[in-house]
Amino acid sequence: MSYSKRLQERERATGRAVRVGVVGAGQMGSGLVAQINRVPGLVMSAVADIDITRAEKALAGAGAEQVTTTDDLTDAAAAIERGESVALSNGMALTKLPVDVIVEVSGVPDVAAEIAYAGLVAGKHTLLMTVEADITVGLFLAGMANKPGGPIYAVCRGDEPPECLKLIEYAHDIGLQVVVAGKGKNNPMRPTDTPTDVADEARAKGMNPKMLCSFTDGSKTQLEMCALSNATGYPVDVPGMHGVACSVDELALKLVPEGVGGVMSTEGPFVEYVTGNVAPGVFVIAKSTNDVVTHELDYLKLGKGPYYALYRPYHLASIEANLSIGEAIIDGRSTFHPIGWTSEVTAVAKSDLAAGTKLEGIGGHHVHGFTVPATDAKAAGAVPIGLIAGCTLVRDVAAGATVTYADIELDEGRPIVAMRRLQDAMLANGTLG
């Protein structure tokens, strides 16, 4: 039975729909808000954005009939209980309001981590669309949650990593061996791009230059594949991955071991990305060596084998995120979260950086993301890119060099830093991962 039908049954049994609160009313958040209000059994109870007018606009665009604008918790709670929707400016307020699920869409790692922590402490299912936080402190957050009868922590459906995980699960369920799993990248890979370089393109697309830069400098792809790595235990084959140009028809020819004409060192399994017309889809390269199965797959037009490409040609971002709400509420299950710490996204200098520079974060002028084995990052003392924003360099860093903890002054008062310190300590003593 579909989640929509099961959510309707829940509403009939409990007397009310699942109340959802959303943090962030930008493009992604507004799309999510509009879609949630169209799913039977869900109700869009509250939207928070630092610009409260954006929260109001998102609710209006979703067709909310009665909207209360307030930052007073008592008034907000009363409005929600009356069945109204509430617009607020403070995302943390949602953790104290009578909502069942919080979906974070801020795009800011510090905000996402704080919301997730507070939401889980409050016993609310907390779902992230800011994967930047997951690749920084996701293992710590998952360790707080995902227990029988307790709150769920998850990265939402709709982004490439969770959709790729669904393909991986499918391959396993039908008895195939997974060799490679990953996504197509639809922007060029230019690691030294800055927001200034892409300003005109961003303006034409109606995008924030930093957001576009995070795509073109490769950071977004690196962190998405890092998230998939930590959710599966699959490593990268080489630091930064191969990133070969590839069409859909070439996936099962190129993402195979070198010994049979591909670029991978072995049969893995590995996480990987490609450029070309594979984007905006996700894929799994699977293998079967059974003659009966390979004959059947050939008959079914999947190829001669023994390597096959399973391909989903799209991901629907915020439009699919409500599926994770269904999984959390109905199944008590997390869509996607780290199961260990296999990979890390380090921060690599885009140019020569002088001591005293206050570093911008992901998509900024100073660093780009680069995925490496977590053990290598730890040995090098590399700073996770999710912590880099706002740090000040205490010594020069050359272009192409990885920024280390020794290079920066880190604000230990930031909650995300405290969470990362706890995560590292718990990994070291074996209580996580």
Quote the pTM value: 0.97
Residues 6 or more apart from 94 whose CB is under 8 A from it?
A: 21, 23, 46, 48, 88, 102, 115, 119
Are residue 43 and residue 142 in the same domain, yes or no? yes
Are residue 104 and residue 82 in the same domain, yes or no? yes
In-domain check, residue 15: yes
What phi, psi does 105 have (nearest 5°)?
Answer: -135, 30
In-domain check, residue 23: yes
pLDDT category of residue 1 using cuts at 50, 70 and 90: confident
Number of domains comprising the chain: 3
Final residue of a structural domain among 265, 299, 331: 331
pLDDT digits (tens, 9 = 90+) for 338-347: 999 999 999 9
30, amino acid identity: S
Query: Is the CA virtual torsion 77, 79, 84, 90 positive or negative?
Result: negative
H/E stretch holding 347 reads strand 343-349
Are residue 65 and residue 137 in the same domain, yes or no? yes
pLDDT surpasses 80 at 433: no
Q: Which domain holds residue 406?
A: 343-428
Are residue 177 and residue 302 in the same domain, yes or no? yes
pLDDT digits (tens, 9 = 90+) for 106-144: 999 999 999 999 999 999 999 999 999 999 999 999 999
Q: Which CATH number characterizes residue 417's domain? A: 3.90.1210.10
pLDDT surpasses 80 at 379: yes
Are residue 291 and residue 193 in the same domain, yes or no? yes
In-domain check, residue 338: no
What phi, psi does 369 have (nearest 5°)?
Answer: -80, 145
pLDDT surpasses 80 at 164: yes
Final residue of a structural domain among 273, 303, 331: 331
pLDDT surpasses 90 at 8: yes
CA 126 to chain centre: 13
Instruction: Give the Cα separation of 130 and 381 in Å (integer).
Output: 25
CA 312 to chain centre: 18
Q: CA distances (Å), 173 to each of 89, 178, 180, 242, in order?
A: 44, 11, 16, 28
Burial (Cβ within 10 Å: 0-12, 13-18, ≥19) of residue 404: middle
Instruction: Give the Cα separation of 149 and 333 in Å (integer).
Output: 10
In this predicted structure, what is the pLDDT of residue 16?
96
Are residue 194 and residue 258 in the same domain, yes or no? yes
Instruction: Give the Cα separation of 176 and 183 in Å (integer).
Output: 19
pLDDT category of residue 7 using cuts at 50, 70 and 90: very high
Are residue 164 and residue 310 in the same domain, yes or no? yes
Are residue 81 and residue 118 in the same domain, yes or no? yes
Closest CA to 164 of 79, 252, 230: 230
Are residue 421 and residue 369 in the same domain, yes or no? yes
Are residue 149 and residue 116 in the same domain, yes or no? yes
pLDDT digits (tens, 9 = 90+) for 177-202: 999 999 999 877 899 999 999 999 98
The mean pLDDT of 296-324, rounded to a whole number, is: 94
In-domain check, residue 410: yes
**pLDDT over 90 for what percent of the chain?**
96
Tell me the pLDDT of the chain averaged across its residues. Answer: 96
pLDDT digits (tens, 9 = 90+) for 142-163: 999 999 999 999 999 999 999 9
Are residue 326 and residue 363 in the same domain, yes or no? no
Q: Is the separation of the CB atoms in 182 and 164 below 8 Å?
A: yes
H/E stretch holding 365 reads none
Instruction: Give the Cα separation of 397 and 170 in Å (integer).
Output: 44
Q: Which CATH number characterizes residue 118's domain? A: 3.40.50.720
In this predicted structure, what is the pLDDT of residue 423?
98
Query: Is the CA virtual torsion 120, 165, 131, 385 positive or negative?
Result: positive
Are residue 218 and residue 325 in the same domain, yes or no? no
In-domain check, residue 91: yes
In-domain check, residue 171: yes
Where do the H-state alpha helices sit in 337-398? 374-380
In this predicted structure, what is the pLDDT of residue 188?
79
pLDDT digits (tens, 9 = 90+) for 33-79: 999 989 999 999 999 999 999 999 999 999 998 999 999 999 999 99
Bridge partners for 104 per DSSP: 23, 128
In-domain check, residue 433: no
In this predicted structure, what is the pLDDT of residue 136?
98
Q: Is the separation of the CB atoms in 48 and 73 below 8 Å?
A: no
In this predicted structure, what is the pLDDT of residue 186?
86
In-domain check, residue 417: yes
pLDDT digits (tens, 9 = 90+) for 254-292: 999 999 999 999 999 999 999 999 999 999 999 999 999
Query: How do 85-88 and 42-48 pair as beta strands?
Result: parallel
